[in-house]
């Protein structure tokens, strides 16, 4: 019984956060769509659902997300192994680097990808290949964005699996592959499923990539909801589509939790620093080489295009655009880059703190096997990832508009909306690790008289500290990239880097374009430094806490 009360206490915070900043706004905007004048309009629902265009959009959304997920997993799983198990020069830098794409605004990536796969792009010059307006460009861009999701989620756990278990299997006569299949794979399965689900969710709700790289005919549900809400103000249609998206995402989440539920066994987690080793043998070298090649082609090349463009000025290569960034020409258009960086970092910091607090509490509450309600809550926390940002944004606008909660033009709304997307990451990263902590350790602590809090602090925290950092890195990166609902809300002018980039891109003139690229490069470097910093903060290995 004490357990139940304990869990309820832990869940109260996340529940309140979720209800207030997600459920309530989304319900408000959906309600306004379904009951335009306080009257239910069931006819409208049927009308929208019967529209063949909607079926087409749904079908495209489903299959491109599936294809993107398969492609991303295929490209990134070897990478997860390489980063988890192999020690090679520059590993830490690369590990931080692969997360950079994840935070870049899609408008910038769109430009980079068009420079690669569009007409007159690199591929076109070399082999006369053009992929823009084809689904391949979309799939590749999705793999580019989500590579880090797989590497970090799966790799984070893989690094902590005890390699001696697999070695033991080998000693007992299992082939290398059999040992992997019987020992490592079952232990990894939940986190692979979690990563796959994340990628699927992200690509299912893909917006910018599809808009920029797809042909104007290709629309995901997310793009369609945006069009109906933000452009046509057809709230009834948007509400129905939102519900359709909810249903689809709900099904996904249910399937996921069903797969994962029985698979999380207690694992012997060890310090990741001891599991990495120098590459041995041909297989390792091939994997390492392959991973480096994938990173070079998929991640480095598009980013290199950006950097190259930021350096090419009217008279050859140079730092013209960077110098222009530093010059101020007054007016409210120009955003001093330092201010933009500062704004971005501070929003992201606040968002990370919120996400860690909410997500950490939720993960702690969900650790122990629990009733249906708790499992439901686990899935519920993922819903914001599957919800259109414009729905949440417009929901904020009509729901959080009265004192004491008139947050519409308050700066706190930005990190709150960003945290909404960050929380699921924190939970996803923390849960597999927390659940893998051997229950007997906690029991032992309890037997020795530790309170639940103290037991958590003494047993769980030391083991999950790394996961916490990974989670923080994700939450931070998500916020830096300015995903989220706040784009659709008018707010006081504290422009972040992505906003400043978008503004510059929206104006003619070579200097503006060059500065946009320079600022994107700055965003990239800022992100890289932040992530490197987090990598450096590797937890010490001792398990007692100096209070």
Partner 1 sequence: MRRSLTVVPVLGLLAVACGGTDEGSGGDEVTLVTHDSFTVSDAVLDRFTEETGYTVRVLRGGDAGVMVNQAVLSRGNPQGDVLFGIDNTLLTRALDEDVFTPHEAEGLAAVPERFQLDAGEYRVTPVDTGDICVNYDRAWFEERDLEPPATFDDLADPAYRDLLVVQNAATSSPGLGFLLGTVAAYGADGWQDYWQRLADNGVEVVDGWEQAYNERFSGAGDGDRPLVVSYASSPPVGVVYGGEERPEQAPTGVLTDTCFRQIEFAGLLDGAANEEGGRALLDFLISREFQEDMPLQMFVNPVREDAELPEEFTRYGEVVEEPWTVGPELIAAHRDDWVDTWTSVVLG
For residues 478-537, which are near partner 1 according to CB under 8 A? 487-494, 499, 502-503, 505-513, 534, 537
CA distance 264 to 428: 13
Of 288 and 335, which has the nearer Cβ to partner 1?
A: 335
Instruction: Quickly list DSSP for 14-66.
Output: HHHHHIIIIIHHHHHHHHHHH-TTSS--HHHHHHHHH-HHHHHHHHHHHHHHH
CA distance 316 to 185: 52
From candidates 14, 25, 79, 115, binder to partner 1 by CB under 8 A: 115
CA distance 425 to 476: 10
Of 196 and 498, which has the nearer Cβ to partner 1?
A: 498
Residue 470 binding partner 1, by CB under 8 A:
no
Rule CB under 8 A: which of 358-387 touch partner 1?
none
Q: Pick from 194, 192, 249, 195: which is nearest to 220 by CA?
A: 249
> Is the peptide bond prior to 404 cis by the omega test (within 30 degrees of 0)?
yes
Of 15 and 131, which has the nearer Cβ to partner 1?
A: 131
Which residues, including other chains, have CB under 8 Å from residue 168's CB and lie 6 or more apart? none
From candidates 180, 346, 441, 446, binder to partner 1 by CB under 8 A: 346
Rule CB under 8 A: which of 167-206 touch partner 1?
none
- DSSP letter at 220 equals -
Judged by CB under 8 A, the stretch of 11-19, 147-155, 215-223, 289-297 that binds partner 1 is 215-223
Rule CB under 8 A: which of 450-469 touch partner 1?
465, 468-469
SS3 call for 278: coil
Of 23 and 107, which has the nearer Cβ to partner 1?
A: 107
> For 508, left (φ over 0), alpha (ψ -120 to 50), or beta?
beta
Shortest distance (Å) from residue 492 CB to partner 1: 6
Residue 439 binding partner 1, by CB under 8 A:
no
User: Degrees (nearest 5) of the Cα angle 392, 398, 400?
Assistant: 80
Binding mask 305-324 for partner 1 (x = CB under 8 A): --------xx----------
From candidates 184, 191, 203, 229, binder to partner 1 by CB under 8 A: 229
Which residues, including other chains, have CB under 8 Å from residue 405's CB and lie 6 or more apart? 20
From candidates 38, 42, 52, 331, binder to partner 1 by CB under 8 A: 331
Binding mask 30-59 for partner 1 (x = CB under 8 A): --x---------------------------
Of 467 and 524, which has the nearer Cβ to partner 1?
A: 467
Tokens of 138: 């979309």
Of 75 and 468, which has the nearer Cβ to partner 1?
A: 468
Binding mask 71-110 for partner 1 (x = CB under 8 A): ------------------------------------x--x
Shortest distance (Å) from residue 345 CB to partner 1: 6
Residue 126 binding partner 1, by CB under 8 A:
no
Residue 345 binding partner 1, by CB under 8 A:
yes
Residue 402 binding partner 1, by CB under 8 A:
yes
CA distance 519 to 145: 19
Contact 401, 233 (CB under 8 A): no
Judged by CB under 8 A, the stretch of 92-100, 248-256, 347-355, 436-444 that binds partner 1 is 347-355
Of 227 and 368, which has the nearer Cβ to partner 1?
A: 227
Which residues, including other chains, have CB under 8 Å from residue 122's CB and lie 6 or more apart? 115, 116, 301, 305
From candidates 318, 333, 405, 525, binder to partner 1 by CB under 8 A: 333
Beta bridge partners of 128: none
Judged by CB under 8 A, the stretch of 72-80, 141-149, 379-387, 404-412 that binds partner 1 is 404-412
CA distance 471 to 475: 6
Of 191 and 344, which has the nearer Cβ to partner 1?
A: 344
Shortest distance (Å) from residue 376 CB to partner 1: 31
From candidates 347, 377, 425, 483, binder to partner 1 by CB under 8 A: 347
Judged by CB under 8 A, the stretch of 79-87, 268-276, 342-350, 449-457 that binds partner 1 is 342-350
From candidates 128, 216, 281, 316, binder to partner 1 by CB under 8 A: 216
- Helix or strand run (H / E) with residue 464: helix 461-480
CA distance 155 to 149: 10
Of 121 and 384, which has the nearer Cβ to partner 1?
A: 121
Instruction: Quickly list DSSP for 164-200.
Output: HHHHHHHHTT--HHHHIIIIIHHHHHHHHHHHHHHHH
Shortest distance (Å) from residue 490 CB to partner 1: 3
Binding mask 233-252 for partner 1 (x = CB under 8 A): x-------------------
Q: Give how far Cα 437 sits from Cα of 160, 368, 373, 461, Å.
A: 12, 10, 22, 10
CA distance 118 to 116: 6
Residue 408 binding partner 1, by CB under 8 A:
yes
């Amino acid at each position: 019984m004490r357990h139940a009360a304990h869990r309820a206490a832990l869940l109260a915070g996340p529940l309140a956060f979720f209800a207030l900043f997600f459920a309530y706004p989304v319900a408000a905007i959906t309600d306004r769509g379904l009951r335009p004048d306080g009257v239910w309009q069931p006819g409208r629902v049927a009308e929208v659902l019967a529209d063949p265009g909607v079926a087409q959009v749904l079908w495209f959304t489903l299959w491109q997300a599936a294809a993107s997920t398969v492609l991303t997993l295929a490209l990134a799983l070897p990478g997860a192994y390489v980063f988890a198990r192999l020690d090679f020069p520059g590993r830490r830098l690369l590990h931080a680097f692969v997360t950079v794409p994840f935070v870049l605004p899609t408008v910038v990536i769109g430009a980079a990808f068009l420079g690669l796969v569009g007409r007159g792009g690199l591929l076109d010059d070399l082999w006369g290949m053009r992929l823009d307006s084809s689904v391949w460009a979309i799939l590749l861009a999705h793999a580019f964005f989500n590579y880090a999701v797989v590497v970090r989620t799966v790799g984070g756990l893989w690094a902590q699996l005890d390699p001696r278990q697999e070695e033991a299997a080998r000693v007992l006569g299992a082939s290398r592959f059999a040992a992997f299949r019987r020992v490592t794979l079952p232990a990894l399965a939940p986190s692979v499923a979690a990563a796959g689900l994340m990628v699927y969710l992200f690509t299912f709700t893909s917006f910018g990539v599809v808009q920029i790289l797809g042909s104007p005919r290709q629309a995901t549900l997310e793009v369609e909801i945006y069009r109906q809400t933000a452009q046509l103000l057809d709230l009834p249609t948007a509400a129905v589509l939102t519900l359709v998206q909810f249903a689809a995402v709900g099904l996904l989440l249910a399937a996921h939790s069903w797969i994962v539920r029985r698979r999380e066994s207690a694992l012997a987690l060890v310090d990741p620093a001891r599991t990495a080793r120098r590459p041995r043998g041909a297989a390792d070298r091939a994997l390492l080489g392959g991973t480096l090649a994938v990173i070079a082609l998929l991640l480095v090349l598009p980013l290199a295009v950006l950097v190259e463009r930021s350096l090419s000025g009217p008279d050859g290569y140079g730092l013209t655009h960077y110098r222009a960034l530093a010059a101020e020409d007054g007016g409210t258009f120009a955003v001093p880059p330092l201010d933009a960086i500062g704004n971005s970092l501070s929003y992201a910091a606040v968002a990370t703190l919120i996400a860690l607090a909410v997500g950490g509490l939720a993960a702690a509450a969900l650790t122990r096997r629990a009733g249906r309600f708790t499992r439901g809550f686990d899935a519920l926390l993922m819903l914001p990832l599957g919800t259109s940002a414009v729905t949440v944004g417009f929901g904020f606008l009509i729901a959080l508009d009265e004192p004491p909660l008139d947050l519409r033009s308050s700066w706190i709304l930005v990190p709150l909306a960003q945290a909404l997307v960050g929380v699921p990451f924190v939970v996803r990263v923390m849960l597999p690790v927390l659940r893998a902590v051997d229950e007997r350790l906690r029991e032992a602590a309890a037997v020795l008289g530790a309170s639940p809090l103290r037991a958590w602090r003494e047993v769980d925290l030391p083991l999950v500290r790394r996961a916490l950092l990974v989670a923080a890195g994700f939450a931070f990166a998500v916020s830096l990239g300015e995903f989220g609902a706040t784009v659709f809300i008018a707010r006081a002018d504290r422009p972040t880097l992505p906003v400043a980039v978008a503004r510059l891109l929206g104006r003619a003139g070579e200097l503006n374009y060059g500065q946009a690229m320079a600022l994107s490069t700055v965003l990239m470097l800022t992100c890289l430094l932040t992530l490197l910093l987090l990598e450096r903060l590797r937890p010490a290995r001792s398990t007692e806490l100096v209070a």
